[in-house]
Amino acid sequence: MKRGWVVLSTILLCQLSTVSKALADTVCIDPGHPSEIGNGATSKSISEIRAAWLVAQQMKKEFEAVGVKVVLTKSKETEMVKNRDRSRIANEAKADLMIRLHCDSQSGSGFAVYVPTKQGTAQGKTGPSDDVIKKCGLLGKPFHSTLVECLGGKLHDNGLMSDTKTAVGSQYGALIGSIFSEVPVVLVEMCRLNSKDDEAFIASKKGQDLMAKSLVKASLAAIKAIKEAENRGSSGVRGKTGK
């Protein structure tokens, strides 16, 4: 019973707390699929495309409420956008962070966070740059730990991993979206749609709202970590120009 109250208190803290000053100028939200990889996972009650789109729309509202400009990689739910073009949109916006939303189809349950840790090559492009990899190394832990805290045990935590651990990342050395990204990037598998509990969570308005709020808090924590490292000037991370 005591643990239940702790979990509930954590969720309420992440839902109700406010940010007094925006840490980011611009965030790019990338609702996954359709892409050249395919249409993604699906279940009886919701598809990956639908779940990512609904969470992205709620995240947009949450970010804008604290003064953060949001750029979406799609203008409508079913729009097909290639992964290199998704990254191009984030690059042109000079986003402080690109957050890519997906749902998994693996067995088991829960969410996972992926960041690029090395360069890969796809479509004649090698990337991301060492600078982006360093920034992603800074943002991974605060993003993941904040997400874990804010979700409050509602979903199983499958951890923080290199994007080489994904099927596409293992093939190319990094995810295509990472290879073409010139800004810090993180991919979140929000749940596993083969799990009935995960499916019920992400198909519900309550679950979508909690996921969106948690991802916004995690994104701001990640951006804060990067900016603090830049301000210290001792991490080897270069600040962006023209901002």
> Rounded mean pLDDT of 216-236?
88
Flag whether pLDDT at 9 surpasses 90. no
Nearest to 149 by CA among 1, 10, 4, 8: 10
Distance of CA 87 to the CA centre of its chain: 13
Instruction: Identify the pLDDT of residue 3.
Output: 41
Instruction: Identify the pLDDT of residue 29.
Output: 98
Q: How confident is the model at residue 219 (pLDDT cuts 50, 70, 90)?
A: very high
* Span 165-210, pLDDT tens digits: 999 999 999 999 999 999 999 999 999 999 999 999 999 999 999 9
Domains of the chain: 21-232 (3.40.630.40)
Q: How confident is the model at residue 24 (pLDDT cuts 50, 70, 90)?
A: confident
Q: What tokens appear for 89 in the block?
A: 């949109």
Instruction: Identify the pLDDT of residue 233.
Output: 83
The angle that helices 205-232 and 196-203 make with each other, rounded to 10 degrees, is 80
> Rounded mean pLDDT of 144-168?
97
Q: How confident is the model at residue 151 (pLDDT cuts 50, 70, 90)?
A: very high
CA separation for the pair 233, 229 (Å, rounded): 6
Q: Which residues contact 181 (CB under 8 A, 6 or more apart)?
A: 87, 90, 91, 98, 116, 127, 128, 132
Q: What tokens appear for 20 in the block?
A: 């007094």
Instruction: Identify the pLDDT of residue 227.
Output: 94
Is there a cis peptide before residue 34, judged by omega within 30 degrees of 0? yes
Instruction: Identify the pLDDT of residue 57.
Output: 98
**Model pTM above 0.85:** yes
Nearest to 101 by CA among 20, 194, 153, 35: 35
